[in-house]
Amino acid sequence: MPRRRPGLRAGLALLLLVLGLAAAAALDLSPAGLAPKEGGLRLLGEFLAHAWAPALDYEATPPEGAPPILAKTLEAARRTIVFAAAGMSLALVIGLVLGYFSCAAWWSDDLAGGRCGTTRRLRRLVGPALWTTARTLVVVLRSVHELLWAVLFLAALGLNSATAVLAIALPYGGTLAKVFGELVDEAPRDASNALRQMGARGAQTFLLGLVPRALPDMCAYAFYRFECAIRSSAVLGFFGFETLGFAIKQSFENLHYGEVWLYLWTLFALVAAVELWSSRVRRRFVA
């Protein structure tokens, strides 16, 4: 067993503490900043009081022809799911393609190498350039938050569905590619070794020996990112997309806290439903 090094851990903890204090000083943080402003506690209490009594009807006279609030909520939830599903579908394509090219096992691990000498030489020639390009794209995509992507695409494309889908797909695709590639690289090599000894080709070794061992974790992480995509889709409503976030923004601006909590509980229910779904799928993979 490796020897424990309490001195190193204590030093790292002390370093983190010093960095935290330095950051607090640079940001001019103080306990006084946590004190509620005048009327703040009253507003907070009023908001929380509606948590267990969400509105089942509009708190003000709605415009003529407005649908019932429950119908509006279900439509906003539907659009939230549609944006999230469309964004994740494109993100999965990006993640699988970039994850494949940025996977170290495919380019440098002998388990995935071809038996033909020409193929091996070609891979050694183009492999580093393709791997570097893929890794660079992964870093670029995941470095920009979906909200910033939304701002950029709003300026370029305007307020349309493609803007919301791309804002979710690009950063999520970069994150999926990074995680997928690492999961494949860290997958056990027993099955791939056995296939290689049996004479399997490089692609067969990679696709049948490495990827299936990482597939349960890849699936679980994809479901987790779908949960995140639902939240991101809702947040994009603050930019004008008619998701649950848009309904929350409108109600909050009018201080209709009961309506806000109706939309919030609907969002909680969506995330919980996806979590229940993903847990069942994960159990099937593990079994």
Sorted by sequence, the CB contacts under 8 Å of residue 187 that are 6+ apart come out as 105, 210, 211, 213, 214
Q: What is the pLDDT of residue 113?
A: 47
* Whole-Å CA distances, 40 to 13, 28, 30, 43, 257: 36, 22, 18, 5, 15
pLDDT in tens, 34-47: 777 777 788 888 88
Sorted by sequence, the CB contacts under 8 Å of residue 161 that are 6+ apart come out as 83, 86
Q: What is the pLDDT of residue 35?
A: 73
Q: Where does the pLDDT of residue 194 fall: very low under 50, low under 70, confident under 90, or very high at 90 and above? A: confident
pLDDT in tens, 98-134: 988 888 777 654 544 455 556 666 666 776 778 888 8
pLDDT in tens, 38-81: 777 888 888 888 899 899 999 888 888 889 999 999 999 999 99
Measured distance CA(147)–CA(237) in Å, rounded: 11
> 75-286 belongs to which homologous superfamily?
MetI-like (1.10.3720.10)
Q: What is the pLDDT of residue 112?
A: 46
Pair of tokens at residue 165: 């889908």
Q: Phi and psi dihedrals of 250, rounded to 5?
A: -60, -45
- Amino acid identity of 173? G
Pair of tokens at residue 19: 């960095």
Q: Where does the pLDDT of residue 29 fall: very low under 50, low under 70, confident under 90, or very high at 90 and above? A: confident
Q: What is the pLDDT of residue 1?
A: 41
Q: What is the pLDDT of residue 134?
A: 87
Domain ranges of the chain: 75-286
Pair of tokens at residue 32: 């006084």
